[in-house]
Structure 1
Amino acid sequence: MSDIVKGIIGGGWPLLIGWILPAALNVLVFVLVVLPGAGLAGGRGISQDGLLVGLAAVVVGLLLAAVQTPLYRLLEGYVGWRPQTGEPRGWRPGAVLERWRRRQIERRQVLLGRVDLVELTQLDGAGRLADGDERERLAEVRADPRLAPYRADLARSAAQLGLLRERLGRYPVDEQQVVPTRLGNAIRRLEEYGYDRFRLDSQRMWYELSVAAPERAAKQVDQARTTVDMVVAMLYGNLLLAAATLGCTLVAAPGAWPLYLVAAAALVLTRGWYQLAVLATDDWAAAVRSLVNLGRQPLAESMGLRLPDTIAAERDMWSKVASTVARPYHPRRAALDRYRAARPDQAAAEAGADPPPGPS
């Protein structure tokens, strides 16, 4: 019985901490601050108020968790965004988000230029700058007018440069993967990690990878994701709190002007929650990196494949696996056969040993 209870609590922990707890905090503020301030509090007792807060928190938390995918997509800048080839015009959502994407690309290029300027200048000063691409890149960043205000970076300490690299690290490696918002890029970098390094499409094969990877690595991903969920839930909870508070002002008793302060504070906090969500993705990205690095070999073995000896061959293998998973079968998918692991009897025959005994 205790094992069953532990399983239920363990499975529901991300839901409880990530969505229900933030909902409970916002509901608590609404019941204990907004309703009395609007003169709408009834004659309920403490036990009734506690039951109301608990039920409302569970309902709101479950609703937010049920629609978490569109909620995330809205913050990531995917909702309404349509990449355009020409110069976007007007105030259509797609055009606005495309401008935001171009601005994010510009910020990434500036951050990359600042990091390259410092690192290549240090190599040049130490006499270890290689001829060719490195010297061309150094000349390029020195001549870039966008980097003129950041010449002070050359005097930054190692810790300050580390923070600069962290900001750059919250963007995808591939500029084509950049999306319109900071949170979207911070999440996109962990989504592209497996594909960029090994051509392992971790998004398409997420469930297979999670099952095959070491249990601790998969648990770390869930824990890191729960932290981001909690911050996102607080953000949307504050938005709902502000909307509900403004709604209460329409029917509030005279002198309820402090409710406007509550609504304003909730709206201001949403910006802080957004920034915190961006920072919280660092642990999430590190956990996904660990999952990919440690789960590649178990995943290959569980799919009956043999992990190649070279990175180039491994990238070719995972590319073929992704093609097999994403597209209907075609005879050219048989190219994956070269990476299939030999059966025990075949391996024994190749090694010149007797095959393992069969079932008696």
Structure 2
Amino acid sequence: MTGVLQGALGGARALLVGWILPSLINVVVFGFAVVPGPRRIGALSVDAGWAAVAGLVATAVLGLVLAALQTPLYRVLEGYFAWPGWLLRRRRRRQVARLHLLRNRVDAVTLARREDRLPAEDRATPAKFRAQEDLGPYLERDLRKGPVWHALLAERLHRYPLDDQQVAATRLGNAIRRFEEYGHHRYRLDSQVLWHELNAGVAEPVRKQVEDGRTNVDFFVSLLCGHVLVVVAAAVDLVVGRAELPWVTAGALVGLLVLAVVWYRVAVVATDEWAGAVRAMVDLGRAPLATAMGLTLPARLADEREMWRAAVGFVGTGPTDALDPYRAKPEQPRAGRAPRPAGSRPGRGSRPGRWRW
């Protein structure tokens, strides 16, 4: 049954799950928190049936609008758009400091757990970590929590880019930036420039994984943005004094603000599946992409990185001679008699229906 539904929905599943369903949740919350009184519905002369229809229409419109605005919405949450310059710089410095602290905590726990097996020249390193004022308290607490906590720390560290220069101003921005830079860091293949080419060349299961991973994040981003809209409507309702149940509206306002923070953090965690799918797309899609672009994948990684650097420049800026060494040689025609003209009869001894060469 699930396969039938997925086949019927097709590409609309990402829209329904990622944007329409969260919009339905927010429309229902809006109906209970901002328009809870029967007098308002009566004043609009709307019965329950028409109210349900209006709710469905509002859900569809809100979901489609948010889906159309998903790029600017993501850019705001990632810290690339509509942020003051001073706040952007401050937040980025904070994220870089958090990244360095996470690296040191993971390294310190790793060394401390292997302290007895370390070479003599490295045995003083855990003591140096413990002596640091900003790291010592973390180290003792991390060691007490055990290996599971250490794995969670490493997971949080992996939600940051490897290059400090790529660190963004927000957690979501860094969680997404880590797999945006993956192709360039490993192969000098900029997946942002060659995204559509990669997406067209990989197998359908890989493409489906990327879409599903993106849909999971879309769900929480849409839910968060809808909560913000409901909070604004509730605040306006309270300010103008039109709320029939002020305590319900105020409680919903506070609760939705808290939930918005929760959904943001859940969206950051949900990027793990998306990141894994994009990494698989880059790793598995390189060879088909090279073939589709008329290139031969070199045997050495260093040569491959030079090839992808040239290919990115070719797509991004224009033709370049740097691709010439990697272009596949055109196929040579097979030696032998040229094919007979169309409509000629086959020679003696040949099989019926087949040309003789």
Per the TM alignment, residue 178 of structure 1 is displaced from its structure 2 partner at its CA by 0.3
Q: Could you tell me how far apart the structure 1 residues matched to 2:261 and 2:336 are?
A: 65
Per the TM alignment, residue 252 of structure 1 is displaced from its structure 2 partner at its CA by 2.1
Q: Could you tell me how far apart the structure 2 residues matched to 1:294 and 1:356 are?
A: 41
Q: Could you tell me how far apart the structure 1 residues matched to 2:125 and 2:61 are?
A: 55
Distance 1:271 1:294, change over 3 A: same
Q: Could you tell me how far apart the structure 1 residues matched to 2:271 and 2:307 are?
A: 29
Asked which structure has the greater CA Rg, the reply is 2
Per the TM alignment, residue 247 of structure 1 is displaced from its structure 2 partner at its CA by 2.4
Secondary structure of the corresponding residue to residue 40 of structure 1: helix
Q: How does 1:133-144 map to 2 (within 5 A)?
A: 141=129, 144=132
Q: Could you tell me how far apart the structure 1 residues matched to 2:150 and 2:69 are?
A: 39
Match of 1:187 in 2: 176
Per the TM alignment, residue 36 of structure 1 is displaced from its structure 2 partner at its CA by 2.3
- TM-score when normalising by structure 2: 0.85
Match of 1:106 in 2: 97
Distance 1:269 1:39, change over 3 A: farther
Match of 2:197 in 1: 208
Taking only the aligned residue pairs, the percentage that are identical comes to: 44
In the alignment, does 2:68 pair up with 1:79? no
For 2:25, give the aligned amino acid: L
Contact 1:116 1:141 in 2 (8 A): no
Aligned match of 1:311 in 291, 297, 301? 301
Q: Could you tell me how far apart the structure 2 residues matched to 1:358 and 1:57 are?
A: 64
Per the TM alignment, residue 38 of structure 1 is displaced from its structure 2 partner at its CA by 8.0
Match of 1:150 in 2: 138
CA deviation string 1:139-169 (max 9, x = no partner) = 8756644212222234543222110100000
Q: How does 1:246-285 map to 2 (within 5 A)?
A: 246-249=235-238, 250-252=240-242, 256-285=246-275
Q: Could you tell me how far apart the structure 1 residues matched to 2:267 and 2:20 are?
A: 17
In the alignment, does 2:291 pair up with 1:289? no
Q: Could you tell me how far apart the structure 1 residues matched to 2:258 and 2:62 are?
A: 21
For 2:137, give the aligned amino acid: P
Matched residue pairs, number?
Answer: 333
Per the TM alignment, residue 326 of structure 1 is displaced from its structure 2 partner at its CA by 1.5
Distance 1:140 1:314, change over 3 A: farther
In the alignment, does 2:332 pair up with 1:345? yes
Secondary structure of the corresponding residue to residue 345 of structure 1: coil
Contact 1:18 1:227 in 2 (8 A): yes
- TM-score when normalising by structure 1: 0.85
Judge which range, 262-271 or 167-176, deviates more: 262-271
Question: Structure 1: which 4+ aligned runs deviate by more than 6 Å?
Answer: 5-8, 134-140, 355-360
- Note the aligned Cα RMSD (angstroms): 2.7
Secondary structure of the corresponding residue to residue 269 of structure 1: helix
CA deviation string 1:202-229 (max 9, x = no partner) = 0111000000011110110011100100
Match of 2:71 in 1: 69
For 1:73, give the aligned amino acid: R
Contact 1:306 1:339 in 2 (8 A): yes
Q: Could you tell me how far apart the structure 2 residues matched to 1:138 and 1:246 are?
A: 52
Match of 1:88 in 2: none
CA deviation string 1:306-352 (max 9, x = no partner) = 111121111111111111112133xxx21211111222328x8xxxx
Distance 1:240 1:253, change over 3 A: closer
Contact 1:37 1:258 in 2 (8 A): no
Gaps spanning 5+ residues in structure 2: where?
Answer: 342-357
Match of 2:230 in 1: 241
Secondary structure of the corresponding residue to residue 35 of structure 1: coil
Match of 1:26 in 2: 26
Distance 1:337 1:7, change over 3 A: farther
Gaps spanning 5+ residues in structure 1: where?
Answer: 82-92, 349-353
Contact 2:33 2:234 in 1 (8 A): no
Match of 2:221 in 1: 232
Contact 1:76 1:185 in 2 (8 A): yes
